[in-house]
Amino acid sequence: MDYTDADLKNSTPAQTGAKRKIVLGFSGGLDTSFCVKYLTTDKGYEVHSVIVNTGGFSADELKTIEAHAYSLGVTSHTAVDAVKDYYDTIIKYLVFGNCLKNNTYPLSVSAERLSQALHIAAHAKALHVDGVAHGSTGAGNDQVRFDMIFHILIPGVEIITPIRDLKLSREQEITYLKEKGVDMNFEKAVYSINKGLWGTSVGGKETLKSNGILPEEAWPTQVTNTGTEEVKLGFVKGELNTVNDTTFDHPTEAIQYLQTIAGGYGIGRDIHVGDTIIGIKGRVGFEAAAPMIILKAHHALEKHVLTKWQLNWKDQLSLFYGNWLHEGQIMDPVMRDIEAFFESSQQQVTGAVFIQLNPYRFQVTGIESVNDLMSDKFGKYGEMNTGFTGEDVRGFSKIFGNQTSIYHNVKEANNGQ
């Protein structure tokens, strides 16, 4: 059925009796605020909101969001601290794989939504609800990610999606909430912002067309740093554990600390153009200073300490892993198989990487590692080799190209007939 504004105004509460009990994935933004008001006021549901913090909220922000949820009419509100679990189960493998969607985007929202969906499903199961709701539209990837994981983990629980089902624009949501007397920052709601440990996405009118860049004020992190700054990142078996010789108990703390250093340079800002799960193209702005620096630093270290075939197979598996994760398939057992390969590949990925930060850009300047395969004990590239003689190379070159030489000799002989 196609809904209109009239349906919103004239919809009636649920019939008398026990209210339907549902869990709503809640962020405090426009879409999920609409969902609470619509589901409680217009549908008469008992709504239990849950926010899954994947690194995008401070303690004060979580308190504000909780108060906002109760003001909208939820029966209960729960905040889940998923930051470390998010890293341990997803982000770690994106680093190990140096995963960038279309060689551009660090899968910030893709990864975040999967962690959130897993925790929302667990919360819904614990509360024994009749339904689970999310605020996804009908035109993006999130609806598939949430729906698919809910179908797998809580089969039989109804999935309720007001924004998608009512086909609402952001302007219609704002009008509805104002009519209901909801007080929130609607100017800020013009842009859809999703902040997490692995970057922040920004969507707005400029990203709805193929040409256009977000205005400076739309970026959540403003550029305040000038000049040049040197940063040293320390990795142990592929995981970041030190920044400028400060050691952290968990990689999430190192990531967040690096973000405080690099964010003010405007590093990691870009516009990603990608293929959605549902087949349409989409554009989104994002800022991801720490993730982009970490991925490039990690990759630079790997190029020094891994063999060419380790790097080759990692590239191939990483492309599939990133694409399959982007499409919500975190539960596919093949992902565990690839993660096992990634874990194995990181045994020698220990060392320091040196980064130069500048406004809007950064440069990897070098690495130091006891596992560096570029050791001058075995020769200096382009100058001198100490591991074999010129005669060794002469014989090797003949054998290495032997089959190709045979092919061309046979081809030439046959063509001459």
CA distance 269 to 201: 10
Nearest to 233 by CA among 290, 288, 286, 287: 290
Instruction: Tokens for 178, please give them.
Output: 């104002």
Predicted confidence at residue 384, as pLDDT, reads 64
Instruction: Tokens for 29, please give them.
Output: 């933004």
Give the Å distances, CA to CA, from 106 to 142, 244, 288, 291.
16, 23, 8, 7
Predicted confidence at residue 416, as pLDDT, reads 64
Instruction: Tokens for 285, please give them.
Output: 């702005």
**Threshold 0.85, pTM exceeds:** yes
Amino acid identity at 147: D
Q: 235 in the Ramachandran plot: left (φ > 0), alpha (ψ -120 to 50) or beta? A: beta
- Mean pLDDT, the chain, rounded, equals 92
Predicted confidence at residue 383, as pLDDT, reads 61
User: Average pLDDT of 84-94?
Assistant: 98
CA distance 125 to 131: 10
CA distance 234 to 15: 60
User: Average pLDDT of 62-86?
Assistant: 97
Hunting for tokens 């029966």 — which residue is that? 75
Predicted confidence at residue 375, as pLDDT, reads 74
pLDDT band at 208 (very low <50, low <70, confident <90, very high): confident
CA distance 370 to 71: 57
pLDDT band at 1 (very low <50, low <70, confident <90, very high): very low
Query: For the sheet containing 46-53, what is the strand order?
Result: 76-81, 46-53, 21-25, 131-133, 158-160
Share of the chain above pLDDT 90, in %: 80
> How does pLDDT run across 363-400, given as a tens digit for each residue?
999 999 999 999 776 656 556 667 788 899 999 999 99
Phi, psi of 380 (to 5 degrees): -120, 120
**Which of the pair, 140 or 381, is modelled with greater confidence?**
140
> How does pLDDT run across 177-186, given as a tens digit for each residue?
999 999 888 8
CA distance 44 to 21: 10
H helices present in 38-77, as ranges: 59-72
> How does pLDDT run across 14-31, given as a tens digit for each residue?
444 568 999 999 999 999
Q: Please determine, for residue 231, whether its predicted confidence score (pLDDT) is greater than 50.
A: yes
CA distance 37 to 323: 35
Give the Å distances, CA to CA, from 134 to 118, 121, 165.
13, 11, 11
Comparing 3-17, 56-70, 190-204, the range with the smallest average pLDDT is: 3-17
